[in-house]
Amino acid sequence: MSGHTLHSAMILLIVGNALAVLSDVVVKLMGSDAPIFQFIVIRTLITLLLLLPFYRQFNHRAPFAGFKVHLVRSLTALLGVFCMVVALTTLPLATANAVFYVAPLMVMVLAVVLFGEKLTPLSMFAVVSGFVGTLVILRPIEFNWGALAALGSALSLAVNAVLVRSLPKDQSTVHKLFVSHLLMMPLALLLFAWEWFFSAPGWRLDIVSYALSSGTLMLIYSLTVLLAYRTVDANQVTSAEYTGLIWAIVIGWIWFAEAPDIWFVIGSLMIVVPLVLLGIVQNNRSTAPAAYRPPSSS
């Protein structure tokens, strides 16, 4: 399954998104009282160790080229993981994932603000519809820290996606991932120390297994995405990325008995349908830029 054909690429993305949702399940199972920064430190360390065997893909001549951008992305990612854990441990699995899918819409807005890009009428409709859909899902009267954390995680994903453009073009994806996680560690360790002494009830050994499972699943997800998009036009298969929401609904229903209500269904359609339409329209334009892929939540 190499991703060299449309069929295999679609399967890779469907399976990959299932694995990403399973990573979210792992995070959710930790519970709302989990020591979040202990989890972040362990998962970041595990990710670094898992990336080391691919050291040949690193740019050894200038490993920290684009340092300022890498640093901003790392700090944003740290905040995003924190928000992701809060969202997944306090909101229904499908609800959190639906809000995470607002990230591509935030990417469009940030591209306008930072790079002066112009939105097409359909893109503008997707942005407005998506944000209204988010309000429909969360409903302002039910806003809580979990809802705000989900939005914060989506914003973190969007910022990281946009800032990739400002990184050196000769840096591989593996190199960018490694540097990003490496620069996360100092602040993550400081926050872990603060959590240890002032908040968390000591070391929780079970967090190691949660972090290992989550980190491994997300790296495999990243691998499936890389394979799927290596030779296949992103616009042809980007709709498969949205199967993650279907997986979240099914797994949340079976595993956590979280039945989605009508508001969730309406709001999710308002977010996803315009994005799928964008992918279809862009696929029909030979000169169109690649569709924005919804970044993974974790």
**Model pLDDT for residues 193-239, shown as the tens digit of each residue:** 999 888 766 778 889 999 999 989 988 888 887 777 665 665 566 66
The reported pLDDT for the residue numbered 222 is 82
Cα–Cα dist 65/59, whole Å: 9
The three-state secondary structure class of 49 is: helix
Pick from 298, 77, 36: nearest CA to 182: 77
Residue linked to tokens 């609800």: 95
The reported pLDDT for the residue numbered 91 is 92
The reported pLDDT for the residue numbered 1 is 43
Q: Identify whether the C-beta of residue 96 lies closer than 8 Å to the C-beta of residue 150.
A: yes
CA end-to-end distance (rounded Å), the chain: 24
The three-state secondary structure class of 60 is: coil
Q: Identify whether the C-beta of residue 79 lies closer than 8 Å to the C-beta of residue 159.
A: no
Cα–Cα dist 39/85, whole Å: 9
The reported pLDDT for the residue numbered 233 is 60
The three-state secondary structure class of 156 is: helix
Residue linked to tokens 């959590």: 195
Q: Identify whether the C-beta of residue 275 lies closer than 8 Å to the C-beta of residue 134.
A: no
The reported pLDDT for the residue numbered 200 is 63
- For residue 126 the two structure tokens come to 């997707």
Flag whether the pTM goes above 0.75.
yes
Cα–Cα dist 29/42, whole Å: 16
The reported pLDDT for the residue numbered 144 is 79
What type of residue sits at position 65?
A
Pick from 88, 104, 216: nearest CA to 160: 104
- For residue 232 the two structure tokens come to 């296949």
The reported pLDDT for the residue numbered 239 is 67
The reported pLDDT for the residue numbered 293 is 45
Alpha-helix runs per DSSP H in the chain:
6-29, 36-51, 67-90, 93-100, 103-115, 121-138, 145-163, 173-198, 206-229, 234-237, 243-256, 262-283
CA atoms within 13 A on the CB side of 271: 28
Within the chain, which residues score under 70 in pLDDT?
A: 1-4, 140-143, 200-201, 229-239, 282-298
State residue 6 phi and psi, 5-degree precision.
-60, -40
268's CB contacts (< 8 A; 6+ apart) are: 94, 98, 101, 133, 137, 245, 260
